[in-house]
Amino acid sequence: MKLISITLCNFRQFYGKSPEIKLACGDRNTTVIHGNNGSGKTALMNAFTWVLYEKFSAAFAAEEQLVNKRALAEAEMGKGVGCWAEVVFEHDSTRYQARRICRAYKSENTVEHGKSELFLNIAKDDGRWLKPEQHPDDIIGRILPESLHQYFFFDGERIEQIVRYDKKAEIAEATKELLGVEVLNRSIRHLGEAKKSLETDLNIIGNAETKKILEAKQKLEQEVEQLSRRQVEIDRELANQGELKKAVNGSLLELSGVGDLQKLRDELEMQQDLFKQQIVRATDALKRAISLRGYGVFLLEAAADFQVIVEDLREDGSLLSGIQRPFLSELLARERCICGSELIEGSEAHENVSGWMDRAGVGDVEETTIRISDRVKEIDKQVADFWEEIDSQQSNLNRSRTELSRVENQLDDIHSKLRNFPDGDVSRLQKRLDEIEAKVGDLHRETGSNQQQIESLNAQVSGFDKQIDKQQMNEEKQVLVQRRIAATQDAIDRLIEVRSRLEKQFCSQLEQRVQDIFSQISFTPYIPKLSDKYELTLVEKTSGKEALVAASTGENQILSLSFIGGIIDGVREWSQKNTLMGPDSSTFPIVMDSPFGSLDEIYRKQIANKLPKLANQLIVLVTKTQWRGEVAQEMEGCTGREYVLVYNSPKPECEEDAIELGGSRYPLVKQSPNEFEYTEIVEVDYGF
């Protein structure tokens, strides 16, 4: 998707129809929009997502109040006031015009806002704009799916939310959609439906025993489906409980006298999560070590026995080295020994040398024995290394468990103090938190039970599948249906394996890209790590081992930008190599509000240098302070267009402000000529 322009009309701060904002692309791919806080930068960024997806960012307040206040004030009673935004974009050599419209109706005491409606036109070669046959949402969804819009249109000051723990499932699903994995998912679903249909046919024509097995299998599958539906409800309830907990914690922080306790508890809970993650990693490392090298422990006794057997064979002369058959054959042919004695056939000397021929035949065995002995000797070293690794991981595990126990004891003390706090509101809120924690614990336990039941039921289903495979088919139709079922299952298994390998390969490459981008921006020695669930963390290496880092807000912002850049770069490359991906995913825009908010000078400079390279097209909305010195200097060479949002303030004797761009002075804030506040859009003229 390449963004061409955006035009607004009576949208929030923008009164009337605005000038068309033409967006830069190509070598100078960056469009910079300057404006003070409150001038409409966030509104402009949200205009893109409102038109395309009817979505807004978290910073966009009063989502239902889109119509400009001045336009409403000037409207007649009962007459509708139109508000719209229009985005023109290109994709796959086709130009699209998307316009979303909504209306507000003013009555004597209230304003009623109507629903929005999206209109989409496609440009033809002859210059005409025509309405497409497909629904506009479907067309836009194929070009840049709604689930992915947050990675390309976002608030820079809140970008660190992308790496939050509770976002990992959303990130995973959205990234898979970029990869084209949805094509495989649909294929697997359709094949599964086909298999069920075939099994129904088999149930009709099959023998009594096959029917019985199929009925039992279908009952188990129904139980699995019920448990899966329940698990969806549990996940939803866990999310609700998490929001409740956040709200109660926020209420506690507002009460006097418990702020320090609450902050200490937040720090301890963060430590608790870190220690739990360390325990999981140490446990996984132990499992891997035992799985890959644990067998060596059981070979020590056999290795010792082998060495004893070899030494015994050498002592009694059964194993020889250095005497080979070709050497002896040459001596007998010359009829002379190396000592000078004649080897006349029939003589005692000849018989002695001939006797060595049979014994020299074990030379190959000796060589093989030497090679095996070398490998057997390595077992001792491998076992020593294995125990060293086990001791190290066990030490990590014990240390983490000890620290976790300490933190949990401190948390228990804090909970006890809050439960018995003199202030009744504090005590009541803490008891509410206890109830939430108990509910969350019950839900997690039910989740574990459900997972065990699902695994057990799936194992039984697999067993029934094997029994069905073994049933002898007496009729040709039964044989044919059974073959089709087997072929369908084989196709499903292969597609699942392809999907798994695709995801693992992309995840691995994405992690490397994120690490490369992060290292180019951040001066810290931290390393981003990406789990198979697209969970982003920062680690540092100390004494050759990795330890989790509690990242700052600035580091999380850089980490999130690195993640977005890694996704764009990775998917752009994959779209050129993989035919699985449906839409052309090689061109991406980024529209970013306040990208430098909480960053220091060094990071601001690095981000400003890197941002234009992350995407094919960049639109940044910045304040004057965010555009100061180092940012303007770094982005000057890639800036193709600039605009200024001029805020007209109705406040008497307002403090005016301006910015100098291209040698000219442009107002940022000026006195409104009437009693209304509104924003004008002015393009910076460089005289090109």
Q: Among residues 31, 64, 53, which one has the least CA distance to residue 139?
A: 53
Instruction: Return the pLDDT at 33.
Output: 94
Say whether 583 sits in a helix, a strand or coil. coil
pLDDT value, residue 63: 72
Q: Is the dihedral of CA 616, 622, 625, 628 positive or negative?
A: positive
**Using an 8 Å Cβ cutoff, are 83 and 101 in contact?**
yes
Asked if 430 contacts 418 with a C-beta cutoff of 8 angstroms, the reply is: yes
What does the pLDDT read at residue 360?
56
- The CA distances from residue 8 to 102, 120, 134, 647, in Å, are 12, 16, 25, 15
Token code pair at residue 485? 């079922």
How far is residue 162's CA from residue 560's CA, in Å, rounded to a whole number?
6
Chunked in runs of 10, what are the mean pLDDT values of the chain (688 residues)?
92 92 90 91 92 85 82 84 92 89 84 87 82 86 79 70 55 62 80 85 69 84 90 88 81 70 80 88 88 83 79 65 62 76 82 69 61 77 86 89 88 79 76 85 87 90 80 64 86 88 81 86 83 78 78 76 78 61 63 74 80 85 84 87 93 88 90 90 80
- Pull the structure tokens for residue 89: 């974009």
Number of C-beta neighbours around residue 661 at 10 A: 18
pLDDT at 47: 94
Which pLDDT score is estimated for 310? 74
Q: Are 156 and 594 contacting, i.e. CB atoms less than 8 angstroms apart? A: yes
Contact 224, 464 (CB under 8 A): no
Element (H, E) at 415: helix 363-419
Query: Contact, 59 vs 84, CB < 8 A?
Result: no
Burial 403-436 (b: 16+ CB within 10 A, else e): bbeebeebbeebbeebeebeeeebeebbebbeeb
Total residue count of the chain as it appears in this document: 688
Question: What is the Cα–Cα distance from 590 to 618, expressed in whole angstroms?
Answer: 5
The pLDDT assigned to 612 comes to 84
58 is written with which tokens? 């978290």
How do 30-34 and 639-649 pair as beta strands?
parallel
Q: Which helix (DSSP H) or strand (DSSP E) does residue 7 occupy?
A: strand 2-11
Determine how many CB atoms are found less than 10 A away from the CB of residue 119.
14
Strand partners, 592: 154, 620
User: Measuring CA to CA, which residue among 522, 544, 526, 521 is closest to residue 536?
Assistant: 526
- Whose structure tokens read 């980490």? 559
Q: How far is it, in rounded angstroms, from Cα 599 to Cα 157?
A: 9
Listed residue (465, 443, 462) closest to 454, CA to CA: 462
8 Å CB contact between 300 and 379? yes
Q: Give the model's pLDDT for residue 74.
A: 87
Residue with tokens 């866990």: 238
Residue 448 neighbours by CB distance under 10 Å: 9
